[in-house]
Structure 1
Amino acid sequence: MFLGLDLGTSGVKALLIGDDQEVIADATASLAVSRPHSGWSEQDPADWLDATKAALTALGATRDLSAVRGVGLSGQMHGATMLDAADQPLRPCILWNDTRAHAEAANLDADPKFRALTGNIVFPGFTAPKLLWCQRHEPDIFNQIAKVLLPKDYLRLWLTGAYVSEMSDAAGTGWLDTKKRDWDDELLAATGLTCDHMPALIEGSDVSGDLRPEIAKRFGLKPGIPVAGGAGDNAASAIGVGVVRAGEAFVSLGTSGVLFAANDGYAPDPDTALHTFCHALPGRWHQMGVILAATDALAWYARLVGGTASQLTDGLGPLRAPGRPIFLPYLGGERTPHNNAHIRGAFLGLEHATDRDAATRAVLEGVAFAFRDCHAAMDATGTRISRLTAVGGGAASQYWLQAIATVLNLPIDVPVKGDFGAAFGAARLAMMAAGQGGIELAHPPEIKQTIEPERALSDAFSETYDRYKKTYRALKELP
């Protein structure tokens, strides 16, 4: 058996697969996000460990974990976990969707070497501007920093005692020379850091360290089993659904939304606001269009009107043409294609006829239109996508997938069963690290159904998308 651990924003998932890659069991433990100020988003790293312990304990209650032969990690990207010399967190981790460092991000992005070396705009959510923010606003904390780790790599430190990261996650910090796949001294110096503050770098399919005996004993695992480098959550999801070669792509409806395309070579285009990152396998890269609120937008709306996301979406019936209301899902700013930390979400075109179902459809449509923005940016780079695989919790909504397929004019494949997300990809990387194979292990899943675009509604969605874009342009001019 092989174990995948995914440290997400809303929880930790532990998943077991067998040698045949069939899912054997899984367990989850939830996490909460602290938002002490507008634009802030934080978590206590101690909560990550507690959630991981809870998930492993629950998994061990149903399965004998002594047969596990490798562990893989995936996790939310960009988080700034600042440790002192005793490996203690100096403050809560500043998360991926925190936009407080927008001024610092603009400062770094104005230096041409950042885009030239990283292949990306320096977004406020990246790790580097957060450290510059800390240097400026919390100097007492900054001066005590011994190591800066990404969230899953803090979990790795607990599991193995090693300071290690891997290429896919490191590419989202703003400090990595993404073509060379190595930390860059100049980029680090711009935020007051050196390579000594950074973990060692390996590929996601390599061994990062061995499981510590005390951790093994506590959860019934074998001591010394390998812990793979793993991947950032989206690259891990790509391993899970077999998106590892040029032309393969997926759409993820998680807390954030991602349009992800694999590339065989390095082809950055920062001006599009796409992310160009290293993949979790050697010699491969990928492009991502990222929207900050996908299921997060639906969850926000569900809290607003009462009920759950599934209650809101399950009774919508077949896809309908958009109505008058338009929803912009910019609850905490937006990345692709706007790189705008200040923009906020909006409902427009509300009228007496707007009931709960109509507003729900507008939320789903708004996220679909944000994906179309990402697709247009990707298309402008020359990357071509012929179909998508759906992943993430929001993919349970048939209506939402039908809307996205129609808006993007692309068929969407839905896996037949099981969880092919980040935890599954992490378990596959554990297999690779344990010597069970290479890229051939990352094959596509069996497909349950293919959702085709609703051609009869294409014009209606395109017309509403034009209104959506005009609404953004008008909204961004407001103070």
Structure 2
Amino acid sequence: MTTFLGLDLGTSSLKAILTDEHDALLAEHSVPLTVSRPHDGWSEQDPRAWEGAAEAAIAAVAAQADCSTLAGIGLSGHMHGATLLGRDGAPLRPCMMWNDTRAEAQAAHMDADPRFRAVTGNIVFPGFTAPKVDWVRENEPRVFDQIDKVLLPKDYLRFWLTGQAVSEMSDAAGTSWLDTGARDWSDDLLSACRLSRGQMPALAEGSDVTGRLRADLARRWGLPQVPVAGGAGDNAAAAIGAGVVKDGQAFLSLGTSGVLFAANAGYRPDPASAVHAFCHALPETWHQMGVILAATDALEWLSRLTGRSAADLTAGLGDLRAPGRVLFLPYLGGERTPHNDAHIRGQFLHLDHATDATEAARAVLEGVACAFVDNRDALAATGTRISRALALGGGSRSAYWLDLLASALGVPLDVPEAGDYGAALGAARLGRMAATGAGPEIATPPPIARTHEPDPAMAAPLAEVQARYRTAYHRLKDL
């Protein structure tokens, strides 16, 4: 039996899974990670903590299952992080994470330069890599002057595992330095940031071999010196795990943040809509994402406010019903798609004496559904039409929420059978592609447990609340 290892570097944990050639899960282990927030808007992690987490996770997997037949390793990780290495290969400072927003001024300056949107196909968001490195140039010049390589988080893991400084297209597309259509670094944009191609990692596709496991690590773990695949950024890896690789296939992720992800056969940028247009993890494919910053996070916020668990808040909602007057805007930390608005904040409107915690919870679910409709319409403006989508993430356990989302979006939402179809599986599949030469055919969709169909009777009332939702944003955004 041939086996494959997937490593998924998340914000709060590193997860390792071992699968066979049929995607059967043989072993898994997660190691928690912590985020440091020394100042408002800062979010950092020590890259050396990732090494320790990977060491512990791989050792735990090896203790659960026979890894002697391991044939390949794939990597996934949170995107946009700025991991700066000196000439000795050691980190010069903590990694600035995807949710670090200190570089807002630098991002605005870059985004005002029309070259960035034209070349990358995306707005320069404060969370992207380029403005963070420019913040270092302006605020930590001694660190900036020592930069030998700028790596994304999962690519730092690759550097540690193989000794090779390599990235791949899906992750590199989130830096604001990649020519996304040409799938290559832009020397012009790098020069605008006082950087050079020599400070960037080499580029590969997600299914390419990018190096082999270092001999000393292989001996220590009792593993063969297997190839390490290019891998993918976390959402592209989740798409590989969920089988969302062909034009028009899509998934809706109800996690802490919300993502509406569509695979594309061609490159369809539209920066003005704040839709992310990135390379996919497979050659000659791209993808688009609409991103909501607070999905289940909005419900968790209400849980903290009321002292009732999210499960308790949503347990008594019953069958889907038309929205009431209470309106919720889920912009607790600003919003990405379609507004690119870092300053807007969450709102409750039309509260009265009869509003209780259950009605507030219903309004929160409806507000997030409205945000997803905004994302659907932003994707549609580029020519992307979604006819159905997989429902993933912790929020997909709520049947009420999925009924609401299906009706608001007007598309069926398919819920996979129990199993892990996320980024770690996508990473393992990419490891399998690199090791065996297999192609997109192994990225199959999961078996479906149930489907939530749109309720035609809800179309009119949901359209009405969508109109009120959009009016509210435009009335309130400048207050």
Q: Which amino acid aligns with 1:379?
A: A
1:424 corresponds to: 425
1:377 corresponds to: 378
Q: Which amino acid aligns with 1:121?
A: I
1:138 corresponds to: 140
Q: Which amino acid aligns with 1:381?
A: T
Deviations 1:131-154 (A, max 9, x none): 112211222222222211111111
Q: Displacement of 1:78 after TM fit?
A: 0.7
The 1:137/1:331 distance shift into structure 2, 3 A limit, reads farther
Give unpaired runs (5+ residues) of structure 2.
Answer: none
Equivalent-residue separation in structure 2 for 1:41 and 1:354 (angstroms): 36
Asked if 2 retains the 8 angstrom alpha-carbon contact of 1:72 and 1:429, the reply is: yes
Equivalent-residue separation in structure 1 for 2:74 and 2:12 (angstroms): 19
Deviations 1:8-39 (A, max 9, x none): 12221112211112222322222233333333
The secondary structure found in structure 1 opposite 2:244 is coil
1:35 corresponds to: 37
Q: Which amino acid aligns with 2:449?
A: K
Aligned match for 1:121, one of 123, 126, 135: 123
1:302 corresponds to: 303
The range that moved more, 228-237 or 298-307, is 298-307
1:189 corresponds to: 191
1:170 corresponds to: 172
Identity, % of aligned positions: 63
Q: Displacement of 1:53 after TM fit?
A: 2.8
The range that moved more, 385-394 or 139-148, is 139-148
Equivalent-residue separation in structure 2 for 1:439 and 1:173 (angstroms): 25
2:210 corresponds to: 208
1:456 corresponds to: 457
Equivalent-residue separation in structure 1 for 2:34 and 2:349 (angstroms): 30
Asked if 2 retains the 8 angstrom alpha-carbon contact of 1:64 and 1:220, the reply is: no
1:147 corresponds to: 149
The secondary structure found in structure 1 opposite 2:419 is coil
Equivalent-residue separation in structure 2 for 1:309 and 1:155 (angstroms): 35
The secondary structure found in structure 1 opposite 2:100 is coil
Q: Displacement of 1:342 after TM fit?
A: 1.8
Give unpaired runs (5+ residues) of structure 1.
Answer: none
The secondary structure found in structure 1 opposite 2:290 is strand
Equivalent-residue separation in structure 2 for 1:70 and 1:82 (angstroms): 27
Equivalent-residue separation in structure 2 for 1:93 and 1:301 (angstroms): 31
2:79 corresponds to: 77
Q: Which amino acid aligns with 1:145?
A: I
Deviations 1:187-213 (A, max 9, x none): 011112111111110000001111112
The range that moved more, 53-62 or 443-452, is 53-62
Q: Which amino acid aligns with 1:324?
A: R
2:393 corresponds to: 392
Asked if 2 retains the 8 angstrom alpha-carbon contact of 1:120 and 1:270, the reply is: yes
The range that moved more, 43-52 or 201-210, is 43-52
1:5 and 2:10 equivalent? no
Equivalent-residue separation in structure 1 for 2:165 and 2:308 (angstroms): 43
TM-score for the superposition, normalised by structure 2: 0.95
Deviations 1:221-261 (A, max 9, x none): 22x10110000111111111111111111111223211111
2:475 corresponds to: 474
Equivalent-residue separation in structure 2 for 1:145 and 1:65 (angstroms): 37
The range that moved more, 49-58 or 158-167, is 49-58
Equivalent-residue separation in structure 2 for 1:3 and 1:455 (angstroms): 44
Q: Displacement of 1:368 after TM fit?
A: 1.6
The secondary structure found in structure 1 opposite 2:478 is coil
2:28 corresponds to: 26
Counting only pairs closer than 5 Å after superposition, residues 23-422 of structure 1 correspond to structure 2 as 23-222=25-224, 224-422=225-423
The 1:131/1:226 distance shift into structure 2, 3 A limit, reads same
Q: Displacement of 1:311 after TM fit?
A: 4.1
Deviations 1:407-459 (A, max 9, x none): 11110011123111111111110110011511111121111111111222232
The secondary structure found in structure 2 opposite 1:173 is coil
Asked if 2 retains the 8 angstrom alpha-carbon contact of 1:39 and 1:332, the reply is: no
Q: Which amino acid aligns with 2:216?
A: E
The range that moved more, 346-355 or 92-101, is 346-355
Equivalent-residue separation in structure 1 for 2:314 and 2:151 (angstroms): 38
Equivalent-residue separation in structure 1 for 2:220 and 2:313 (angstroms): 42
The secondary structure found in structure 2 opposite 1:367 is helix
The secondary structure found in structure 2 opposite 1:389 is strand
Aligned length: 477
The secondary structure found in structure 2 opposite 1:251 is strand
Q: Displacement of 1:77 after TM fit?
A: 0.8
Q: Displacement of 1:85 after TM fit?
A: 2.0
Q: Which amino acid aligns with 2:18?
A: L
Equivalent-residue separation in structure 1 for 2:323 and 2:27 (angstroms): 40
The range that moved more, 424-433 or 435-444, is 435-444
The secondary structure found in structure 1 opposite 2:5 is strand
Q: Which amino acid aligns with 2:146?
A: Q
The range that moved more, 317-326 or 407-416, is 317-326
The secondary structure found in structure 1 opposite 2:71 is coil
Equivalent-residue separation in structure 1 for 2:12 and 2:400 (angstroms): 24
Asked if 2 retains the 8 angstrom alpha-carbon contact of 1:97 and 1:332, the reply is: no
Asked if 2 retains the 8 angstrom alpha-carbon contact of 1:65 and 1:219, the reply is: no
Q: Which amino acid aligns with 2:45?
A: Q
Q: Displacement of 1:308 after TM fit?
A: 4.2
